[in-house]
Amino acid sequence: MGAEDTKETMGPLAPRPRRSFIFVPGLRPEMYPKALSCGADIVCVELEDGIAPGDKAEARKLGLSLFGQPPADDGVERILRINSIRERFGIEDVLAVLAAESPPPALMMPKVRTPDEVVMLDRLLGEAGHSTRLHVIIETNAGLEAAFDIARCSDRIDALFFGGVDMAAELRCENAWEPLLHARSRVVHAAAGAGLDVIDVPYLDLDDPAGMRLEAERARDLGFAGKGSVHPKQIATLNEVFTPSADQIARARRIIARFEAAGTGLVVIDGKLIEKPVLRNMHRIVAIADRMGK
């Protein structure tokens, strides 16, 4: 099955909460259950930057073993971050995933520079019969330039992630909100144009919770669906910031119900014209509400 065939048989999955995510080192499988219970919407097993070159093979073996059993129905999205497929470690990661009887439900692709990388992995997963989804990190200048094409190149993609640390290094700017605002905005626009979620980079200063909240609020207002964390103690704040209000949840349910009843591409609610493209975000709001039992 090639990439084009995959596009015909796969499609974007139903929206789901992606307010927060946290990494678990592939070398530390004992940390996985705790991460799954910390409240994060996404738990990502790490094979890339957090693993030294000499430990890559062991991390790959231990990390993939965590996906050997069907996941519990706990609402947590499970992802494996592989190494860049432009490098040997990334190629070895892909080969291991392709050979796995129980592959991860999703892979996070770092340092993506061109759509070709995603299309190639899409094709390989299709040939292996894997339904594995893809999450793509835009953290290089080349990737930023091609973000719009990358976002549209595969129907396996569920979300774009903004990698601020590497992006700041490539752009030779300070890793701060203002210098990276243009880059952030481009990633948001690319994701929105393709109907994808977009997730912001973690806030690195654990001793500045007020700063983290402010940056999360700015990211939310810019269009991000969530933000990463570097410690479980950040999760509650992130979930709070990216959780819609009761009024927003009620409005989303009304809009969805009105569209279902109308069977048209637009409806009028409270005197305002609402077109069908907003439905994906309304469904994401309801998915967050359902995860919280609201």
Predicted confidence (pLDDT) per residue in 99-149, tens digit? 999 999 999 999 999 999 999 999 999 999 999 999 999 999 999 999 999
Phi-psi region of 212 (alpha: psi -120 to 50; beta: other; left: phi over 0): alpha
The HSE-up count of residue 137 (CA atoms within 13 Å, CB side) is: 27
d(CA 292, CA 167) in angstroms, rounded, equals 34
Give CA torsion, residues 61, 228, 277, 270, to 10 deg: 140
Q: Say if residue 267's pLDDT is above 60.
A: yes
Band (pLDDT 50/70/90 cuts) for residue 174 is very high
Closest by Cα among 247, 289, 251 to 269: 251
Q: Say if residue 10's pLDDT is above 90.
A: no
* Section 19-36 average pLDDT: 96
Tokens coding 86: 């432009």
Band (pLDDT 50/70/90 cuts) for residue 268 is confident
- Using CB atoms within 10 A of its CB, is residue 72 exposed (0-12), middle (13-18) or buried (19+)? exposed
The sign of the torsion formed by the CA atoms of 111, 117, 120, 123 equals positive
d(CA 138, CA 135) in angstroms, rounded, equals 10
Band (pLDDT 50/70/90 cuts) for residue 294 is low
Q: Whole-model pTM?
A: 0.89
Cα 284–Cα 160–Cα 187 angle in degrees, nearest 5: 105
Residue bearing the bigger pLDDT, 235 or 257: 235
* Section 267-273 average pLDDT: 80
User: Residue 44 is inside which H or E element, if any?
Assistant: strand 42-46
- Which residues 6+ apart lie within 8 Å of 257 measured at CB? none
Band (pLDDT 50/70/90 cuts) for residue 67 is very high
Query: How big is the chain, counted in residues?
Result: 294
d(CA 52, CA 48) in angstroms, rounded, equals 8
d(CA 254, CA 74) in angstroms, rounded, equals 27
Q: Which amino acid is at 262?
A: A
> What pLDDT, on the 0 to 100 scale, is given for residue 85?
97
Tokens coding 75: 């609402």
